[in-house]
Chain A
Amino acid sequence: MEFVWFIFLPALAALFIPTLFRRVTGIHTGWFVLIVPVVLFVYYSTYLPLTASGDHAVSSFDWIPSLGISFVSYLDGLSLLFTLLITGIGALVVLYSIFYLDRHKEKLGNFYVYLLLFMTAMLGVVQSDNVISLYLFWELTSISSFLLIGYWYTRDGSRFGALKSMMITVGGGLMMLGGFVILGILGDTYSIRELISGLSDYSGDPLFTLAAVLLLFGAFTKSAQFPFYIWLPDAMEAPTPVSAYLHSATMVKAGLYLVARFTPIFAESSVWIWLVSGIGLLTLMWGSFFAVKQTDLKGILAFSTVSQLGLIMSLLGAGAIAYHSDDTLFRLAMFAAIFHLVNHAVFKGSLFMIAGIVDHETGTRDIRKLGGLMSVMPISFTVAFIGGLSMAGIPPFGGFLSKELFLDSMVALKQFELFNFDTWGILFPVIAWIASVFTFVYSFYFVFKTFTGEKKFDKLPLKPHEAPIGMLISPIILAISVIALFFIPNIVGKWLVAPAVMAAQPQLYSLPSEAAVHVQAWHGFEYIPMWLTVGVIAIGALLFTSIKKWQPVYGMQPEKLSLNALYDGVMTLSEKGMNKLSRFYMNGLIRTYLLYMFAFFSIMTIVVLFAKGAFKLDMSSLSPITLFAVMNAIVAILGTGMVIMSKNRISAIIALGAVGYSVALFFVLFKAPDLALTQLVIETISVALFLLAFRHLPALKTHGETKQNKLVNEIIAIGVGLSVTLVALSAHSNKLVASISQYYKDTVYTEAGGGNIVNVILVDYRGFDTLFEIAVLSIAGIAVLGMIKLRLSRKGSDDEKE
């Protein structure tokens, strides 16, 4: 069986969840769900030896072959690493959620359907080789994440957070689609592998950089980079298993995956390197600095996630530098990025689960109310301690190793000489170091403010006690992995990290073993990052102990100047501002709308007429002007003037009739007897109708017209008249083809058996028009009848409503 179908296994399983939830009430639905990620994890693990040898597996299914769109499951080191994270942590999160969500109080059917949909989407994102199907899965993650954040949809916060994350990630996703399409056009393929291999053909194209920037919009919004990180803290309204899964381990890493996946294509571009590493570093600094401000446990973790994602992002940017230099020093960065990605997924998952446990057992996540939980929740404390110290980068935990690699590559960066790195490169290790200090501070802040210190149990909503063992299994497994990562980094490096590095930099390596960096905890006293780490611990400890003295600094930033205020401002502006704007020009007066239409019409006509050089005046084919025509024209003009000037209705109608009859006379003069006849009768009947209808109306009076808008009316009326005249004149002067009337003259008797060309045209040559004109007349007649006979709102009689 083609393994591309395994991507859809969770979504397929989701179909049965609602039935299971309703019918099998004795068992928590989560147990059925758990089977899916476990099976997938075991299945995908079997590909490990394949990717460890530098090979890959491909399975595909044509979706829309004519457009080159297909589902391609492409398993190389990078895809497999992410796949294992998704299924592995997915299994642990499902297990955790079984104990976290109550089977009687919660709508579990919804929850697991969304979660399984999300799993399919994520697997699709990391395995897709076709950019269009990648985009499809990408938006599916946005949608399922939206549903999961808004899971408790009766809370305002959940809905706000869900909407915010949706707006930002979908906005970025659309930009990314633009990037994909540009790439698809440039490379003439949607397959990422073919894009990489055909790179030299199009990398010089001016649109190439635009594609890079658009793609980064997608990656930055999804991975919560500066300034798009603002949705992540608000997404913490989601149930904790969701936060642990989506907003720490998997979805937010989709952006990182995208950057790593497209590094082989865009690494050539200096814009890419600067943006990825620069924004990453800025995010790292920003996130770690503001994490200490938070008082909500999950808020701290959200900012810490933002910061750690920034760290990985900056390493990915640095990893792209390896393309520009032969120095093996720069090859470290990509390895460090992937290694830290694994580390982060593991420890952040466990920390979120601990935050969930604390919330579940004490009833609050506010760090100001918590304290001294160590004695009642020893296991949770141990797990938090391990995770927290790994996050801070302290031995003997996995985070220490990746932090050392990170500092090492940042120090190496200042030796890079292209793209101005020799002048600005020094900033990289400095910012990285300061951010590491703050990372240390918030890690300790998270762990020790919660679990040590003064016991304030009487203020807590619930009496705290240790969580049930089922809820603790997942964090314990993750905590053990955190320690294991420290002791067996090279095994992880060989099986997971090196193949992923090779996949992200395929041009540089031919075998994963070349990409492997030997990770060791002890490098000797000359190793600079070691001393940097010592500095981090020393300064960090100092800052943490004095936290009460300097934490008020955060109060200085006014709320109005934050990015959230900017987002809210933009949303308010687009909602209220647009509303105001449309209310301003859509004022409900027909007069105004006519003004827009006529002004637009006359301006467009005159501008186009002269800009395109279409105006032409040719007097040669004009007929001689007769005295009758002049006299008749004077009558028509006088009549028109009377219509405009007249102060009462009757005279206006009579004047209008005069104009009509003079038009009939024109028809006589210009030898159109049929038209003259019709015009005379029609004019008579319409004047009669006007008189009938206007008998009921009050005398003519002004409708609130001021002198000012009368002037506007006049200008626009003159403009319209002028443009119509000009068009008529130049249309007359620009006759391009001969009239077809000769054909009618020749065939009116022989073909149509008639003598009156006008009538024969009406009923025979082009009887179709007449057919619909009489239909129009019928509709008008019946409409008048309907309007008069069926007036429902007539005062005093509502019998017709029955």
Chain B
Amino acid sequence: MKKNNVILQTTTKVTFFIISLFSIHIFFAGHFAPGGGFVGGLLTTGAIVLLLLAFDLETVQATLPFNFTIVIGVGLLLSLGTAAGSILFNVPFFTHAFAHFDLPLFGDTELHTAMIFDSGVYLVVVGAAITIIQSIGGDE
């Protein structure tokens, strides 16, 4: 017998975006306020887990058609690439660079290569956590 989870599913549809936005906020704010790639990634994972609870595995996979193992790989590559990129500029491995720019919409913004590194962390966390949950949950 299938229960009608309409309330759960409807609230999930709303909350999912709120959590996602919050995780993106925490990720971007990480350099100056509490947060960063790791927590951001975990929160995104939390949002996806919520989807998994409200719907079933197939639905979520259809909605988010990513292969999360590839997400892990992309994340690692991004982090390692950022770290290794500094070699091209004849500075030691893992030297970051940053500068302030006056962007059209955001005003005075600091752009930092650490952010690229952190997005690698973010992707790895999301990819690894979802891989674990999907493979354990999908194992029947």
Contacts and interface: CB of A to CB of B under 8 A. Distances in A.
Interface string B105-135: 0000010101001101100110111011101
B66 interface: no
Contacts of B137: 692
Interface string A676-701: 01100110110011001100000000
Contacts of A693: 136
Contacts of B46: 681, 684-685
Interface in A90-106: none
Contacts of A784: 131-132, 135-136
B92 to A, nearest CB: 11
Contacts of A781: 68-69, 72, 127-129, 131-132
Interface in B18-52: 26, 30-39, 42-43, 45-46, 49
Contact of B31 (A754, A780, A782): A754
Contacts of B80: 771
A688 B49 contact: yes
Interface in A636-685: 673-674, 677-678, 681-682, 684-685
Interface string A764-802: 100110110011011011101100110000000000000
A529 to B, nearest CB: 87
B30 to A, nearest CB: 5
B83 A771 contact: yes
Interface string A745-776: 00000001111101110111001101100110
Nearest to A782: B69
A636 to B, nearest CB: 22
Contact of B114 (A764, A771, A789): A764
A763 B39 contact: no
A755 B34 CA distance: 9
Interface of B is mostly: helix
B111 to A, nearest CB: 9
A396 B34 CA distance: 107
Nearest to B33: A756
Given A685-B45, A763-B37, A768-B94, A778 B72 contact: yes
A594 to B, nearest CB: 26
A763 B127 contact: no
Given A760-B114, A789-B135, A778 B124 contact: yes
Contact of A780 (B42, B79, B128, B136): B128
Contacts of A689: 132-133, 136
A685 B50 CA distance: 11
Contacts of A758: 34, 36
Interface of A is mostly: helix
B69 A785 contact: yes
Contact of B112 (A684, A754, A777, A780): A754
Contacts of B73: 778
B72 A760 contact: no
The listed residue with most A CB atoms (<10 A of its CB), out of B37, B39, B49, B112, is B39
Contacts of A770: 79, 117, 121
A753 B43 contact: no
A122 to B, nearest CB: 59
A780 B98 CA distance: 33
B56 interface: no
B32 A767 contact: no
A760 B31 contact: yes
Contacts of A762: 36, 38
B134 to A, nearest CB: 8
B39 A678 contact: yes
B125 to A, nearest CB: 7
A755 B114 contact: no
A411 to B, nearest CB: 85
Contacts of A788: 135-136, 139
B2 to A, nearest CB: 20
B129 A674 contact: no
A688 B42 CA distance: 13
Nearest to A678: B39
30 contacts: A677-B26, A677-B35, A678-B38, A678-B39, A681-B43, A681-B45, A685-B46, A685-B129, A685-B133, A689-B136, A752-B98, A752-B114, A754-B112, A754-B114, A756-B35, A758-B34, A759-B30, A763-B36, A763-B117, A763-B118, A771-B79, A777-B124, A777-B128, A778-B127, A781-B69, A781-B132, A782-B69, A784-B131, A785-B135, A788-B136
Interface of A: 673-674, 677-678, 681-682, 684-685, 688-689, 692-693, 752-756, 758-760, 762-764, 767-768, 770-771, 774-775, 777-778, 780-782, 784-785, 788-789
Given A760-B114, A775-B76, 14 more contacts: A681-B46, A689-B133, A754-B31, A755-B32, A756-B30, A756-B36, A759-B35, A760-B31, A762-B36, A767-B117, A774-B121, A778-B73, A778-B128, A784-B135
